[in-house]
Amino acid sequence: MSELLVLDDLGKDYDTDAGPVQVLKHLSLSIEEGEFVAIMGPSGSGKSTLMNILGCLDVPTSGRYLLGGRDTGSLGDLDLAKVRSEVIGFVFQGFNLLPRASLVANVALPLVYQRVGHGIRNERAAAMLQRVGLDKWLNSLPPRISGGQQQRVAIARALVTEPRLILADEPTGNIDTRTGREIMQLFQTINRDSGITLVLVTHDRNVAGYASRLIYLLDGRIHYDGPVDQFREENIT
Amino acid sequence: MILSLLGEALAAMAANRMRTFLTALGILIGVAAVVLMVAIGQGTQTQVGESIASMGSNLLIVRSGASRQGGVRGGTGNMPTLTAMDAQAIGQLSRAALVAPTVIGSVQVVYGPNNWNTSAIGTSAEYLRIRDWRVVEGRTFSESEATSGVRVALMGQEVARQLFGNESPVGKSIRVQRSPFLVIGLLDQKGQSLGGQNQDDMIIAPLVTAQRQLFGTQFQGTVSMVMVQATTTEDMAPLEKSTRELLRQRHHLNTRAEDDFRITNMTEVSETASEVTGMLSILLGAIASISLFVGGIGIMNIMMVSVTERTREIGIRMAIGASRGDILIQFLLESVIITMAGGIAGIATGIGMAFFATHMFDVWTTVTAMPVLLAFFVSVGVGIFFGLYPARKAAQMRPIDALRYQG
């Protein structure tokens, strides 16, 4: 197994009116190809900031972030967009679908930026919607389906480019527990069957239980990094 | 491939039809106004130009002046000072190509039960050549007819219509001021003159015949005006000068006396007229351009709002792989398509309105390719120019900020 992500002494500061705030402090970790990692931690521990850096939506203030062996710090805007397009798939807490575009159009959207032709685009999007069990609603609009279904659409959209890494930020945060379980099972299947590396941020201990490895952040530092089943929350508090 | 981004732009426009329509409407009105105004301006230019051209080219018109009898000054042409001999002498000048001495007056024309009041022109056969006027049926008068006083006449289209209806007037005998005249030719349609007279409402007779038979004692060997055509346009000014000198000499005017005739240089008149109508075109176009500009501002306004409103959407697109260039092109395409659609619809509307104005209000309009193409490219330019700023604003956004934006 090769290393897909490597963080080397990574730091991130934010300028606020009250002066600079260190959100991430000297983070070093690596994630291998095919791993399913959950990131937990209390609010303000830096989880979301870490996710944004992993997703190349934000850049670290110090240290290095290597994705697939490439130092992302040396990439320009265009190359970062290319990395987001080809290597990474995003799943957000609020789904972030385009409300006025059909499900097919939503799922096909990442392929637009890979310059895939219209016909092939829709074919692949439809196939992906079938895989997440939504092939009956190809031409519906997102607001017309349930939250759980919208999240499935978002997963299909993340999968359609066949990325190596899927980043999910609180994917079950806006859905009920039962639907959340289905979503997590879907993630597990994707990780097992396609070997796609999954990194997931969550508050929920049960959701994290679907992963194999857990990283617990506290105050911008790694507090725990190891197998999910050996993690005891009592140790933290 | 810009094509897939085009699809995204079209989809975004379709998702917000009302906004798209209203923006395009602004451009439509601007472009239509430009096309219509320029069409009216150019139409006027053409109309004036044609009216002047219908007089004949390289033309000097010498009119009889007011002669003095004691202290009483007559009106121009009332007491004719020019004679047919003067005309003949002008014809001898080296730069004069054709000369037509002319008398004109109002006459009553009768054919069978119909009668009609029209103008009669007595002139030489050269008159028609100067004015580039053809006889469509029959013939013009011969040299001998022109000088012998025989009663023959050429008839304008309007007179023929009034007296003969659909019948041909050629070969028929009519009565003009009680004298019988033989119609030997039918003149070509000529249309309105610059002064607004119908040039087809007249008959033409040989000068001598008209002087003797039609106007009684008014023109006894005199003429009301002489039309002189110069050999070339360059000869106009020297010819005007030598004509003036010749006439002053022939009329025995000493150096302190005023001219007893007036010379009008029609080339100068036509230049002035085209200058004025050209200015009119520019003025109308400029006024219309303002509305096009206002339409452009409208586009920018809408696109700015659109960028703010769609900040999150921009964030999503960037998160799933859109580059800054992709976002820039998509927003730019949106504004260019809107302005192009508005531009094309505006051209159609403008041409339609010009057509309507011509047929309903008798306004002369000329639609040429130039202003239409110009309006189209200006509208596309407006789209790019006013779309660029909001599009850049959208593309410069940091994906993370755009995603977090709470709209």
Set of chain B residues whose Cβ sits within 8 Å of the Cβ of A82: 321, 323
* Total tally of structural domains belonging to chain B: 2
CB A103 within 8 A of CB A122: no
In a domain, B380, yes or no: yes
Regarding whether A78 and A62 lie in a shared domain, the answer is: yes
Q: What is the pLDDT of residue A197?
A: 94
Helical ranges in B132-235 per DSSP H? 143-148, 157-164, 207-209
Q: What is the pLDDT of residue A212?
A: 92
To the nearest whole Å, the CA of B12 is away from the closest chain A CA by 8
Q: What is the pLDDT of residue B26?
A: 82
DSSP element (H, E) containing B270: helix B266-309
In a domain, B264, yes or no: no
In a domain, A149, yes or no: yes
Q: Could you count the other beta carbons within 10 Å of the beta carbon of residue B149?
A: 15
Set of chain A residues whose Cβ sits within 8 Å of the Cβ of B322: 81, 85, 112-113
Give me the CATH number covering residue A168.
Answer: 3.40.50.300
Regarding whether A126 and A216 lie in a shared domain, the answer is: no
Domain limit, last residue, from A119, A134, A162? A162
Q: Using the beta-carbon criterion (under 8 Å), do B11 and A101 form an inter-chain contact?
A: yes
Regarding whether A221 and A175 lie in a shared domain, the answer is: yes
In a domain, B61, yes or no: no
Domain limit, last residue, from A121, A147, A162? A162
pTM of the model: 0.68
Q: Using the beta-carbon criterion (under 8 Å), do B319 and A96 form an inter-chain contact?
A: yes
In a domain, B98, yes or no: yes
Question: Measured between CB atoms, which of B3, B8, B321 is closest to A84?
Answer: B321
B395 to chain A: closest CA residue: A77
Q: Using the beta-carbon criterion (under 8 Å), do A112 and B8 form an inter-chain contact?
A: yes
Q: Using the beta-carbon criterion (under 8 Å), do B321 and A114 form an inter-chain contact?
A: yes
Domain limit, last residue, from B228, B259, B290? B259
Regarding whether A106 and A133 lie in a shared domain, the answer is: yes
In a domain, A148, yes or no: yes
Dig out the tokens for A39 from the structure: 């990131």
Regarding whether A184 and A123 lie in a shared domain, the answer is: no
Which pairs count as long-range contacts for B181-184, CB under 8 Å and 24+ apart, including other chains?
A: B181/B151, B181/B152, B181/B153, B181/B205, B182/B151, B182/B152, B182/B153, B183/B138, B183/B152, B183/B153, B183/B154, B183/B155, B184/B138, B184/B139, B184/B140, B184/B141, B184/B152, B184/B153, B184/B154
Domain limit, last residue, from B259, B292, B313? B259
Question: In sequence order, what are the beta bridge partners of B205?
Answer: B122
DSSP element (H, E) containing A167: strand A165-169
Q: Using the beta-carbon criterion (under 8 Å), do B400 and A52 form an inter-chain contact?
A: yes
Regarding whether B101 and B8 lie in a shared domain, the answer is: no
Q: How far apart are CA B27 and CA B299, in angstroms?
A: 8
Q: What is the pLDDT of residue A200?
A: 93
Q: How far apart are CA B86 and CA B92, in angstroms?
A: 10
- Per-10-residue mean pLDDT of chain A, 237 residues long, equals 86 86 90 93 87 89 90 89 90 87 91 88 92 87 90 92 91 87 90 91 89 91 88 65
Interface of A with B (CB under 8 A): 52, 55, 57-58, 77-78, 81-82, 84-86, 89-90, 92, 96-98, 100-101, 105, 109-110, 112-118, 121, 157-158, 161
In a domain, A64, yes or no: yes
Domain limit, last residue, from A162, A185, A216? A162
Set of chain B residues whose Cβ sits within 8 Å of the Cβ of A85: 320-323
Q: Most A CBs within 10 Å: which of B320, B330, B405, as the mutation test of the A interface?
A: B320
In a domain, B391, yes or no: yes
In a domain, B105, yes or no: yes
Regarding whether B397 and B279 lie in a shared domain, the answer is: yes
Q: What is the pLDDT of residue B272?
A: 83
Q: How far apart are CA B373 and CA B281, in angstroms?
A: 16
Regarding whether B180 and B146 lie in a shared domain, the answer is: yes
DSSP element (H, E) containing A31: strand A19-32
Domain limit, last residue, from B230, B259, B288? B259
Q: What is the pLDDT of residue B72?
A: 55
| Domain extent at residue B230 | 66-259
Q: Could you count the other beta carbons within 10 Å of the beta carbon of residue B71?
A: 5
- pLDDT tens sequence across A123-164: 999 999 998 888 888 888 999 998 889 999 999 999 999 899
Regarding whether B134 and B79 lie in a shared domain, the answer is: yes
To the nearest whole Å, the CA of B21 is away from the closest chain A CA by 18
Regarding whether B344 and B219 lie in a shared domain, the answer is: no
Torsion of CA A105, A107, A110, A113, to 10 degrees: -20
Cα distances (Å, whole numbers) of residue B208 to B81, B124, B125, B141, B152: 17, 9, 12, 12, 11
Burial B367-404 (b: 16+ CB within 10 A, else e): beeebbeebbebbbebbeebbbebbebbbebebbebbe
Regarding whether B276 and B255 lie in a shared domain, the answer is: no
Q: Using the beta-carbon criterion (under 8 Å), do B318 and A57 form an inter-chain contact?
A: yes
Please choose, from the candidates B81, B52, B98, B19, the residue with its C-alpha nearest in 3D space to the C-alpha of residue B247.
Answer: B81
Question: Measured between CB atoms, which of A85, A100, A105 is closest to B321?
Answer: A85
How many CA atoms lie less than 13 Å away from B280 in the CB half-sphere? 16
Dig out the tokens for A222 from the structure: 């790694």
Regarding whether B285 and B211 lie in a shared domain, the answer is: no
Dig out the tokens for B342 from the structure: 């508005």
Regarding whether B92 and B228 lie in a shared domain, the answer is: yes
Regarding whether A180 and A68 lie in a shared domain, the answer is: yes
Cα distances (Å, whole numbers) of residue B305 to B8, B20, B115, B310: 18, 12, 73, 8
Q: How far apart are CA A4 and CA B347, in angstroms?
A: 58
Q: Write the single-letter amino acid at B233.
A: T
B312 to chain A: closest CA residue: A96
A52 to chain B: closest CA residue: B400
Set of chain B residues whose Cβ sits within 8 Å of the Cβ of A158: 320
Q: Write the single-letter amino acid at B73.
A: R
Regarding whether B122 and B216 lie in a shared domain, the answer is: yes
In a domain, B57, yes or no: no
Regarding whether B230 and B100 lie in a shared domain, the answer is: yes
Task: Count contacts between A and B (CB, < 8 Å).
Answer: 78
Question: Measured between CB atoms, which of A57, A78, A161 is closest to B319?
Answer: A57
In a domain, B59, yes or no: no
* Total tally of structural domains belonging to chain A: 2
Dig out the tokens for A196 from the structure: 């796609």
Regarding whether A73 and A174 lie in a shared domain, the answer is: yes
Interface of B with A (CB under 8 A): 1, 3-5, 7-8, 11, 15-16, 312-313, 315-326, 398-400, 403
Regarding whether A176 and A75 lie in a shared domain, the answer is: yes
In a domain, A92, yes or no: no
Regarding whether B226 and B177 lie in a shared domain, the answer is: yes
Regarding whether A30 and A82 lie in a shared domain, the answer is: yes
Regarding whether A194 and A110 lie in a shared domain, the answer is: no
B327 to chain A: closest CA residue: A113
| Domain extent at residue A30 | 3-87+163-235
Question: In sequence order, what are the beta bridge partners of B82?
Answer: B223
Regarding whether A226 and A171 lie in a shared domain, the answer is: yes
Regarding whether B214 and B102 lie in a shared domain, the answer is: yes
In a domain, A103, yes or no: yes
Q: How far apart are CA B82 and CA B363, in angstroms?
A: 39
How many CA atoms lie less than 13 Å away from A58 in the CB half-sphere? 23
Regarding whether A172 and A149 lie in a shared domain, the answer is: no
Set of chain B residues whose Cβ sits within 8 Å of the Cβ of A109: 8, 317, 320
Report, as ranges of residue numbers, the positions in chain B whose pLDDT lies below 50: none
In a domain, A157, yes or no: yes
Q: What is the pLDDT of residue B407?
A: 55
